[in-house]
Each structure stands twice: as C-alpha cells, then as structure tokens.
Amino acid sequence: MLIKNIKTIVGVDEDFCKIKKGEEMKNLPTIDNAWLLIEKNKIADYGKMETCPVRNEKIIDATGKMVFPSWCDSHTHLVFAGNREGEFRDRIEGLSYEEIARRGGGILNSAKRLRVTPEEDLLEQAWTRIEEVKSFGTGVVEIKSGYGLTVESELKMLRVIRKLKAISPLKIKSTFLGAHALPPEFKENRSGYIQLIVNELLPKIADEGLADYIDVFCEKVAFSPSETELIMEAGWKYNLKPKIHTNQFNCMGGIEASVKHGAISVDHLEVVNESEIEILKNSNTMATLLPSAPFFINDHYPPARKLIDAGLPVALATDFNPGSTPSGKMSFVVSLACIKMKMLPEEAINAATINGAVALELQNDFGSIARGKVANIFISKPMSSIAFLPYSFGSNLVETVILNGKVN
C-alpha cells in the first residue's frame, strides 16, 4: 500500500523508539508533501514526494491530509457491565467521587453488575467499545480487570480481554486490577481479601497467562501504600510488572512505593508534591496522566507543566470507564491536555503516541512513524495544521484507520 501526496507525516521517528522527556517532548518531527509505503504489516519507507516510488499496488491519495501514528491508550477499564449515569446525576447534585464510593457506589456498583453478567454479554459490550475507539484512531490499548472483585469474576474479565486480543486488530495489553476496591464481603477483613489476591487469584492468572501487568488503586478509599507494596511484590513473583493508580486525590506515598518496586508507570497524579517529582526524576517510571477523569468528575487536573518542566516524560491515556471517564476518545484527551494542562500540541501528541507505547513497553513496534514498525496509523481529514487537531476538540478528524497494514 502506498499513501501519497500526504500534507504532513506526523511523529517521524528516526531514533526509532526513543522516549520523550522534558524539553524533548516539544520535538515532534514531521515531513511535509510526503509519501509512505506499507509492505505486509510494516512501515517500509517514506519520504518527500519528489522521491515517491512508482508502484502497482493499492494507492491512497492523501492530498491535504495528515498521517499520524495510532494513539497508544495505556490506561483503560473498557470491559464493564452497563453504565453509571445515576452517579453522574449524584455528582451534579453535589456528591464527590469519594463520597459516592464510600456509600457503596462507584467501583462496587460496577462490580455488582459485572458479577451477574455472562461472559458473552461482557464481550459483546466491550467489542462495541473497542470498535468505537478504533474509529477514533487508537491502535494500541491497555485494558484492566477490577470490576469483578471475586476470583470467578476477575478471571471472567481477564478471559474477555484475552478474547479481545484474539479477535481485534488493535494491540491489546491486559492488566490485573483485583485491588481496585475492597469488596463488601471483605469490609471487615482487608487482609483476607489481599490474601485472596495473592494466594488464589495470582496463581490462577499466571497458570492461564491472563495478564501482562498488575495494578493497585493506592488511595485512601482503596488500598494503602503498604498494602500496595505487598501486592506488587506478589505480582513480581509471577513476572507481572506494576502499573499503579495513585495520587488521584491524595499524596500518601503511592509514588514512592511504586518506584521502589519498579513500576512501569504511575497513573493519575492529579496531586503531586515536589519530593515525589524528585523520586520520579530518579526512576524509569512513566507519569501517565488521565485528564478526562478530572474533566468528568469536575476535579483539578494533573500538573503536567510542572512534571515536563522538571524533565520528566509524560504519557496521556483515557481512563475509559463507566464511572469517571465514559469516553475512549484520545483526541479529546489531547485537547484537554492542551487546554487544561497547558501542554503544547506537540507535547500532547508525543504523550499520546510514543510515550503511551513506552508505558506499555511497546515502543519498539508502535507509537511513531519509523521504518520497520507495525503500520498502525491513521489518515486525518483535511487539516490546516497539527494544532488544528486539539483545537477542534469536538470533531473526529480521523478519516482512515490502518492497523497492521490494513485499512479498517
């Protein structure tokens, strides 16, 4: 497949798989008036139109349009049963996310529904969401469990994710998030539930090869740093690297604990103090920000500018879930990053592509336009500039999705 007359190729990566940190995040290499060649499922070559090869295969004319690497959404919960629009009304009437959670709503609400939903129904619902995010330009996605909170239901969720991996053209990574909330049946026995995770769930997950990562919601409404450390240590015994929810509402030691245990990423970070920034600067842990969550629950946004100006890498993801972010639209996340977190368009696009791939250890194959990488790209509708994408926040500017070298 040859794409020619491309207005601009965005995210050209001659360094191949380099993470973008601090000042480097402003650097988004492009080629104007370009062509791009796909052979089998890989990006074979690209260049200026004056060097365009003559080919007899499928040709796409991209006059006036741009080519981007597919979005890499490194934090979602898109396997869930039903919705939580009732809590949407509760928040309008003044209840906070934490107040809703403490009275049995939130994650526990989703868990109650998921436990009684057959696996086939869960798969059908999740497939609809996967197809939607694909149409928005996402080519890589991470999906977490965490709405089961029993052995049977957590395994059910992870098996649905495994089926999605098998049938979807998207590259999918799975994360075990059994420690998402304390289930009501263990309300008076926290250690009992943690032992259930460590001694029953983790061995079964490892036996079936159901997860790539392990996650814990480290917050006052969920699990403490010491409990998080215990679960991370157990995960490492099964080669499940940590990707941790932390600092959504409180600074309570979650970042320090995560870095200590080699977390690939720490996600949310709506609140971060100076000492935690220093801890991240001395680590290989990615700061993954989820601005559509504070947008939806009307909370404060992560300090992206402070993190980037400190020299840190930042990734962006949707947090697609039924309670705090019922959207998997990465372009809207990019817009929010610019509008609410003062990220430049170039920084936000790098955060949503190559740094998202790094947050899933997939930077060798995804996240940028480079020879030899998997041809996961999208062609935009006609656009005047790169900045038009985050500027036009209400539009879907994706015209053609190409995954694994095929038009989808």
Q: What pLDDT does residue 180 have?
A: 97
Q: What pLDDT does residue 85 have?
A: 86
Q: Which tokens belong to 406?
A: 């095929």
Strand duo 66-69 + 2-10: pairing: parallel
Q: How far apart, in whole angstroms, are the C-alpha atoms of residue 68 and residue 345?
A: 13
Domain boundaries, the chain: 2-69+367-407, 72-358
Q: Which tokens belong to 281?
A: 């600067």
Predicted confidence (pLDDT) per residue in 220-255, tens digit: 989 999 999 999 999 999 999 999 999 999 999 999
Nearest alpha carbon to residue 124 among 162, 187, 81: 81
CB 143 within 8 A of CB 78: yes
Beta-bridge partner residues of 72? 140
Q: What pLDDT does residue 231 have?
A: 98
Q: What pLDDT does residue 254 have?
A: 97
Q: What pLDDT does residue 103 have?
A: 76
Task: Write b or e for each residue in 264-288: b if 16 or more Cβ atoms lie within 10 A of its Cβ, otherwise e.
Answer: bbbbbbbbbeeebbebbeebebbbb
Predicted confidence (pLDDT) per residue in 277-297, tens digit: 999 999 999 999 999 999 999
- Residue 287 Cα distances to 10, 117, 280, 294, 327, angstroms: 23, 34, 8, 16, 21
Q: Which tokens belong to 57?
A: 């295969």
Q: How far apart, in whole angstroms, are the C-alpha atoms of residue 403 and residue 384?
A: 25
Phi then psi dihedrals of residue 208, to 5 deg = -95, -5
Nearest alpha carbon to residue 51 among 67, 62, 65, 37: 37
What is the three-class DSSP state of 226?
helix
Q: Which tokens belong to 210?
A: 């159901």
Residue 374 amino acid letter? V
Q: How far apart, in whole angstroms, are the C-alpha atoms of residue 274 and residue 307?
A: 10
User: Which regions of the chain are under pLDDT 50?
Assistant: none
For the entire predicted model, the pTM comes to: 0.96
Q: What pLDDT does residue 256 have?
A: 98
Predicted confidence (pLDDT) per residue in 322-377, tens digit: 999 999 999 999 999 999 999 999 999 999 999 999 999 999 999 999 999 999 99
Instruction: Evaluate the CA torsion angle 130, 176, 265, 376 in order and state its sign.
Output: negative
Q: Which tokens belong to 290?
A: 């989820």
Task: Domain 72-358: give its CATH code.
Answer: 3.20.20.140
At the top level of CATH, the class of 2-69+367-407 is: mainly beta
- Which 3-state string (H, E, C) describes 312-346? CCEEECCCCECCCECCCCHHHHHHHHHHHHCCCHH
Q: What pLDDT does residue 87 have?
A: 86
Nearest alpha carbon to residue 297 among 275, 270, 273, 272: 270
